[in-house]
A = this chain, B = another copy of it.
Amino acid sequence: MAIDELDRKILRVLSVDARVSHQDLAERVGLSPTPCARRIRKLEADQIITGYGARIDAGKLGFGFSVFVSVKLDQQVENRLVEFEKTIRDCPEIVDCWLMTGSFDYLMLVLVSDLAEYEQFLTRRLTRMPGVASIESSVPIRRVKEQAARLR
Protein backbone atom coordinates (compact mmCIF):
# COMPACT_ATOMS: atom_id res chain seq x y z
CA MET A 1 0.00 0.00 0.00
CA ALA A 2 3.03 2.29 -0.16
CA ILE A 3 2.85 4.99 -2.83
CA ASP A 4 5.77 5.70 -5.16
CA GLU A 5 6.58 8.60 -7.45
CA LEU A 6 4.72 7.01 -10.40
CA ASP A 7 1.54 6.65 -8.32
CA ARG A 8 1.88 10.27 -7.29
CA LYS A 9 2.22 11.34 -10.93
CA ILE A 10 -0.89 9.33 -11.79
CA LEU A 11 -2.81 10.94 -8.92
CA ARG A 12 -1.65 14.37 -10.02
CA VAL A 13 -3.03 13.83 -13.52
CA LEU A 14 -6.27 12.17 -12.37
CA SER A 15 -6.98 14.87 -9.77
CA VAL A 16 -7.07 17.41 -12.59
CA ASP A 17 -8.39 15.30 -15.47
CA ALA A 18 -10.19 12.19 -14.30
CA ARG A 19 -11.42 11.24 -17.75
CA VAL A 20 -8.04 10.80 -19.50
CA SER A 21 -7.69 7.49 -21.26
CA HIS A 22 -5.22 5.01 -19.82
CA GLN A 23 -3.20 5.46 -23.00
CA ASP A 24 -2.84 9.24 -22.64
CA LEU A 25 -2.21 8.91 -18.93
CA ALA A 26 0.42 6.22 -19.56
CA GLU A 27 2.19 8.53 -21.99
CA ARG A 28 2.08 11.47 -19.59
CA VAL A 29 3.58 9.53 -16.70
CA GLY A 30 6.04 7.56 -18.83
CA LEU A 31 4.55 4.08 -18.69
CA SER A 32 2.56 1.77 -20.95
CA PRO A 33 -1.23 1.52 -20.54
CA THR A 34 -1.32 -1.87 -18.79
CA PRO A 35 0.76 -1.10 -15.66
CA CYS A 36 -0.91 2.28 -15.60
CA ALA A 37 -4.35 0.66 -15.39
CA ARG A 38 -3.03 -1.80 -12.81
CA ARG A 39 -1.83 1.06 -10.60
CA ILE A 40 -5.14 2.90 -10.90
CA ARG A 41 -7.01 -0.26 -9.88
CA LYS A 42 -4.70 -0.64 -6.87
CA LEU A 43 -5.16 3.01 -5.85
CA GLU A 44 -8.91 2.45 -6.06
CA ALA A 45 -8.78 -0.85 -4.13
CA ASP A 46 -6.66 0.80 -1.39
CA GLN A 47 -9.25 3.60 -1.33
CA ILE A 48 -6.63 6.22 -1.99
CA ILE A 49 -8.81 7.14 -4.96
CA THR A 50 -12.34 7.12 -3.54
CA GLY A 51 -14.17 8.14 -6.69
CA TYR A 52 -14.35 10.55 -9.61
CA GLY A 53 -16.51 13.63 -9.95
CA ALA A 54 -17.40 16.25 -12.52
CA ARG A 55 -16.60 19.84 -11.52
CA ILE A 56 -19.77 21.81 -12.06
CA ASP A 57 -20.02 25.61 -12.21
CA ALA A 58 -22.66 26.39 -9.59
CA GLY A 59 -23.07 29.95 -10.86
CA LYS A 60 -24.04 28.71 -14.32
CA LEU A 61 -26.82 26.67 -12.70
CA GLY A 62 -28.15 29.70 -10.87
CA PHE A 63 -26.40 29.20 -7.53
CA GLY A 64 -23.83 31.93 -7.74
CA PHE A 65 -24.09 33.22 -4.19
CA SER A 66 -22.21 31.31 -1.50
CA VAL A 67 -22.19 31.83 2.26
CA PHE A 68 -20.10 30.25 5.01
CA VAL A 69 -22.35 29.60 7.98
CA SER A 70 -21.20 28.84 11.53
CA VAL A 71 -23.83 27.14 13.68
CA LYS A 72 -23.92 26.56 17.41
CA LEU A 73 -26.34 24.00 18.89
CA ASP A 74 -28.05 24.30 22.26
CA GLN A 75 -26.55 20.99 23.45
CA GLN A 76 -23.69 18.85 22.14
CA VAL A 77 -25.12 15.48 23.23
CA GLU A 78 -24.92 12.75 20.60
CA ASN A 79 -28.62 12.64 19.77
CA ARG A 80 -28.65 16.34 19.04
CA LEU A 81 -25.71 16.01 16.64
CA VAL A 82 -27.14 12.95 14.89
CA GLU A 83 -30.51 14.64 14.42
CA PHE A 84 -28.98 17.89 13.18
CA GLU A 85 -26.64 16.08 10.78
CA LYS A 86 -29.51 14.14 9.25
CA THR A 87 -31.28 17.43 8.54
CA ILE A 88 -28.08 18.83 7.02
CA ARG A 89 -27.67 15.91 4.62
CA ASP A 90 -31.20 16.34 3.32
CA CYS A 91 -30.65 20.01 2.62
CA PRO A 92 -29.67 20.72 -1.02
CA GLU A 93 -28.40 24.24 -0.28
CA ILE A 94 -25.69 22.91 2.06
CA VAL A 95 -22.90 21.49 -0.07
CA ASP A 96 -20.22 21.12 2.59
CA CYS A 97 -20.34 20.75 6.36
CA TRP A 98 -17.79 20.10 9.12
CA LEU A 99 -18.21 19.33 12.81
CA MET A 100 -15.82 21.71 14.56
CA THR A 101 -13.92 22.22 17.78
CA GLY A 102 -14.02 25.73 19.23
CA SER A 103 -16.77 28.23 19.76
CA PHE A 104 -19.04 26.97 16.95
CA ASP A 105 -20.24 23.40 16.42
CA TYR A 106 -20.60 23.34 12.64
CA LEU A 107 -19.09 25.18 9.71
CA MET A 108 -20.94 24.83 6.45
CA LEU A 109 -20.96 26.19 2.93
CA VAL A 110 -24.35 27.18 1.55
CA LEU A 111 -25.06 27.74 -2.15
CA VAL A 112 -28.03 29.90 -3.14
CA SER A 113 -29.00 32.11 -6.07
CA ASP A 114 -28.81 35.45 -4.26
CA LEU A 115 -29.11 37.26 -0.94
CA ALA A 116 -32.90 37.04 -1.06
CA GLU A 117 -32.81 33.26 -1.34
CA TYR A 118 -30.26 33.19 1.46
CA GLU A 119 -32.65 35.10 3.70
CA GLN A 120 -35.36 32.52 2.96
CA PHE A 121 -32.95 29.70 3.71
CA LEU A 122 -31.85 31.32 6.96
CA THR A 123 -35.27 32.23 8.34
CA ARG A 124 -37.34 29.31 7.03
CA ARG A 125 -34.92 26.40 7.15
CA LEU A 126 -31.72 26.87 9.14
CA THR A 127 -33.19 28.64 12.18
CA ARG A 128 -35.92 25.99 12.32
CA MET A 129 -33.53 23.05 12.36
CA PRO A 130 -33.51 20.99 15.55
CA GLY A 131 -31.20 22.32 18.28
CA VAL A 132 -29.88 25.42 16.50
CA ALA A 133 -28.90 28.01 19.12
CA SER A 134 -26.97 30.61 17.11
CA ILE A 135 -25.85 31.30 13.55
CA GLU A 136 -23.14 33.48 12.04
CA SER A 137 -22.86 34.13 8.30
CA SER A 138 -19.69 35.06 6.41
CA VAL A 139 -19.93 36.03 2.77
CA PRO A 140 -17.01 35.25 0.46
CA ILE A 141 -16.12 37.58 -2.39
CA ARG A 142 -14.21 35.17 -4.60
CA ARG A 143 -12.45 31.81 -4.50
CA VAL A 144 -8.70 32.27 -4.62
CA LYS A 145 -7.59 28.63 -4.72
CA GLU A 146 -9.32 25.30 -5.21
CA GLN A 147 -7.28 22.14 -5.17
CA ALA A 148 -8.84 18.70 -5.03
CA ALA A 149 -6.09 17.17 -2.93
CA ARG A 150 -2.69 17.72 -1.39
CA LEU A 151 -0.12 15.68 -3.27
CA ARG A 152 3.16 17.13 -2.00
Interface residues, chain A, with chain B CB atoms under 8 Å away: 3, 11, 14-19, 46-58, 60-61, 63, 68, 85, 88-89, 92-102, 104, 106-108, 111, 138-152
- Given A19-B52, A89-B145, residue A138 in contact with residue B14 (CB < 8 A): no
A144 touches B15 (CB 8 A): no
A15 touches B106 (CB 8 A): no
Question: Chain B contacts of A104 at CB under 8 A?
Answer: 138
The 9 closest A-B pairs by CB, nearest first: A56-B149, A14-B54, A18-B52, A98-B140, A97-B145, A97-B144, A111-B150, A95-B147, A51-B55
A18 touches B15 (CB 8 A): no
Q: How many copies does the complex hold?
A: 2
What is the CA–CA distance of A58 and B57 in the complex, to the nearest angstrom? 24
B94 touches A145 (CB 8 A): yes
List the B residue with the shortest CB-CB distance to A102. B138
Question: Chain B contacts of A53 at CB under 8 A?
Answer: 14-18, 52-53, 55, 148
B58 touches A150 (CB 8 A): yes
Across the interface, A102 reaches (CB within 8 A) one of B18, B98, B108, B139, namely B139
What is the CA–CA distance of A123 and B95 in the complex, to the nearest angstrom? 32
- Given A3-B61, A143-B98, A144-B98, residue A48 in contact with residue B56 (CB < 8 A): yes
